[in-house]
Amino acid sequence: MPFTLATWNINSVRLREPIVAQLMRDEAPDVLCLQECKSPVDKIPLAQFEALGYTHMVARGQKGYNGVAIFSKIPMVEAGAEDYAGLGHARHIAARLDNGVTIHNHYVPAGGDVADRAVNEKFGQKLDYLTDMRDAFHASKPQKSILVGDLNIAPGEDDVWSHKQLLKVVSHTPIEVDHLNDVMAAGDWSDVTRADIPDGKLYSWWSYRAKDWDAADKGRRLDHIWASPDIKNAAHSSRVLRAARGWEKPSDHAPVFASFDL
């Protein structure tokens, strides 16, 4: 069963309902994973999304912060929600599609502004979240699984606008990259996006602080799609929908896509 998946940090699903609907109409991924929904589950504007064919949803939400949701045209059932690092935040939801594929949707903590857990509790929470992910995949190797989301780390030199200038900036520090690599290694995950687009600068986030984000192009690739080793070769057609960063009242993230033939 071929299907296309997209992941997008939407930065409020209710505020940005129009552009979520625009993506559903224009791009029509079979599965859409959203992060930072900033909404209780019962307040998510499901009726419009159902009218566009997304008749299945699993989600975890909270008022004003965090929140993750998976919308699908394909039948699916909830497959768990973990509270990594014991934060009590809505940061993970999993769903199992009819074809047996499990999708894990994550919103990893951003980590604050200072890359030192001794003085920045949020940075410690980020590292602890990643450590718990690593330990979970050591304990149970993923099979027929896809992991997506805003992982809030741009791991490679070409995943940031300036490797040298961002080495001490949260999202690209060596300790964060090491933690992310440990998560990947623990689950034998494959970075689908970089398998398809191995070379060149590639970003999925541009700061709101940049008045002309497109011309300045000081981006980071914070949003990811990974596949377990048994299905990694079924993935293809990866892309970032950069244009969405310029839509009306945009998120500061752009959607990332991949297709799978299973």
- The one catalytic residue among 56, 104, 179, 253: 253
Distances (CA, A) of 253 to 190, 213, 234: 22, 11, 26
Residue 9 annotated as lining a ligand binding site: yes
Q: Which residues pair with 32 in a beta bridge?
A: 6, 71
Residue 150 annotated as lining a ligand binding site: yes
- Decide: 239 and 223 in contact? Cβ < 8 Å: no
- In terms of Cβ atoms closer than 10 Å to its own Cβ (0-12, 13-18, 19+), residue 113 is exposed
Is position 212 annotated as part of the catalytic site? no
- The one catalytic residue among 54, 92, 150, 172: 150
At residue 3, what is the residue type? Answer: F
Q: 238 phi and psi, to 5 degrees?
A: -70, 145
DSSP 8-state secondary structure symbol assigned to residue 35:
E
Residue carrying structure tokens 């993750």: 68
Residue 26 annotated as lining a ligand binding site: no
> What is the rounded distance in angstroms from the CA atom of residue 19 to the CA atom of residue 250?
8
At residue 146, what is the residue type? Answer: I
- The one catalytic residue among 54, 84, 107, 129: 107
Closest CA to 69 of 46, 99, 98: 46
Is position 150 annotated as part of the catalytic site? yes
Which residues sit in the known binding site?
A: 9, 36, 150, 152, 252-253
Which residues sit in the known binding site for Mg(2+)?
A: 9, 36, 150, 152, 252-253
Catalytic residues: 107, 150, 253
